[in-house]
Chains A and B, each alone.
Chain A
Amino acid sequence: DTGVSQDPRHKITKRGQNVTFRCDPISEHNRLYWYRQTLGQGPEFLTYFQNEAQLEKSRLLSDRFSAERPKGSFSTLEIQRTEQGDSAMYLCASSLAGLANSRFPETQYFGPGTRLLVL
């Protein structure tokens, strides 16, 4: 257990439905990341937050995807009008970002993931 929790762990939905996932990071961590992992592949970056600010979004994050971190603690990832191609494991990671240009690398701790199946 890394201290990062995700809910739900599994979600089955029908095409066209909306789904929302939650991530609770390690409490003192200021950065929170979302990744997507399809079967047989490594995780791919979707977006990340520093505190409540969303600082980067991947081209993979279409208009149907939205992520929030309203109070700089937990985060939600919503997918609207789900498609079968959205079926994947959605992973959340958190880290404590240090000083700019720090020589010490930032370590990301991953949650157990939410496995989404769109029928």
Chain B
Amino acid sequence: TQLLEQSPQFLSIQEGENLTVYCNSSSVFSSLQWYRQEPGEGPVLLVTVVTGGEVKKLKRLTFQFGDARKDSSLHITAAQPGDTGLYLCAGAGFGNEKLTFGTGTRLTIIP
């Protein structure tokens, strides 16, 4: 069974601060996706990383896929209240279309 653990589970920081969320597994994934979910809504895709060591930037968000494709991180620079939400990582296996989701990180940015 593939498991993804995210840390921290909860994070509350002041506007303007930087933060990093981690997604770790003992399994190798063919790709890893990061989603953000608002209360009462479905997850919305932020990014997909495919290659070990890959780094992708989306404005103030930087995503990294570990060299061994077992872990990933999400770094937010100068956090804003609009960044508040549940951040989920999800891994896709090789030849296995379903996504395995992490436990989620609930982020709150305090104005």
Contacts and interface: CB of A to CB of B under 8 A. Distances in A.
A31 B97 contact: yes
A32 B31 CA distance: 19
Interface stretch (A41-49, A68-76, A77-85): A41-49
Could you tell me the dominant secondary structure of chain B's interface residues? strand
A4 B92 CA distance: 21
A45 B92 contact: no
A107 interface: yes
Max chain B C-beta neighbours (<10 A), residue from A56, A91, A110: A110
Interface string A95-112: 101000001111111111
A115 B104 contact: no
Interface residues of A, number: 30
Contact of A97 (B33, B50, B97): B97
Nearest to B38: A112
A96 B62 CA distance: 26
Contacts of A25: none
Contact of A105 (B4, B48, B100, B101): B48
A66 interface: no
A56 B45 contact: no
A10 B98 CA distance: 25
